[in-house]
Amino acid sequence: MTTKILVTGVAGFIGSHIAAALLARGDRVLGVDNLSPYYSPALKHARLARLAAHRGFAFEEVDVTDEALVEAVPASWRDVERVVHAAAQPGVRHSLAHPVGTARVNLLGQVVIEEAIHRHLPKVRGLVYASTSSVYGRDTASPFSPHAPALRPVSAYAASKRGAELMAESYTGLYGLPHLGLRFFTVYGRWGRPDMAYFIFTHRILGGQPIKLFGGEATRRDFTHVDDIVAGVLSGIDRVDRLPDRHTILNLGNNRPERVIDLIRAIEGASGREAAIEVTDLPPGDVPATAADITPTTELLGFRPTTRLADGIADFVAWFREADAGRFLPA
């Protein structure tokens, strides 16, 4: 028996991969997105074109911050049984220049979706929403535990996503709908976001242009391939209403922090080009290292990431060349 699942942010990097995996296993997906020009709309349309090839997919251009959704939702939403809220305004550095817009999408968007479900979608049995490792800030002990208080975010983006988690907590307490918040750690892979370092590095290395290494060789990230992220999300979708707590927050990370310089070396190896590296200080809002404690995620969701950084980057570089993905970067 198929399940109808609403996926917000379906034209985004992770949202489109989640939708593709749900369709591949036979679920019906109603995808919504506002096609924000934050980065290339052409890339978003290309992702949607891949999804449109599936009979079980339907798309609606919807902005999750549209307060009209609180009063009424489209008729097509009314038989939805699960919701995956992946729509967001990403970008730590973007949030420093655009804090109001970031807060509007990430906080108001959470409230609107919560209210739309509460008022109009009685068949929904669980909400899975995307959060971020950025909520841990600089003071959380490594590896970052999902039980850590996460009280000192260091960017507007991080604060807005932590606020969305607290909003989810309040709605769980008020109305009892099971919630699962998943904190993603530095996701990479095919059809990725052009504002991410691995995307920019690949473009510049292939073009013989220098790249900037923020924080030097000590900077580490828990790079996590999108296929592993999606496996965790799908497990969460299936189990959200059977978890011990009504509101659960878990990490989805690779559980193996690696130096950013090793990411660069992987791109060099996959591309056959040598990088010209300029070392510079970490910008405001960035943290020197991220590391995910996934022990609770493994226990509750059976989550076990398997993709090695070198393999995942080799696959990404191959896609980048095949898709001529440099065209998705700003001129």
Catalytic positions: 157
Matching residue, tokens 């507007």: 156
CB-CB contact of 88 with 9 (8 Å): yes
Count CB atoms within 10 A of the CB of residue 292: 28
CB-CB contact of 28 with 5 (8 Å): yes
Dihedral pair phi/psi, residue 131, rounded to 5°: -120, -160
141: exposed, middle or buried (C-beta count within 10 Å: 0-12, 13-18, 19+)?
exposed
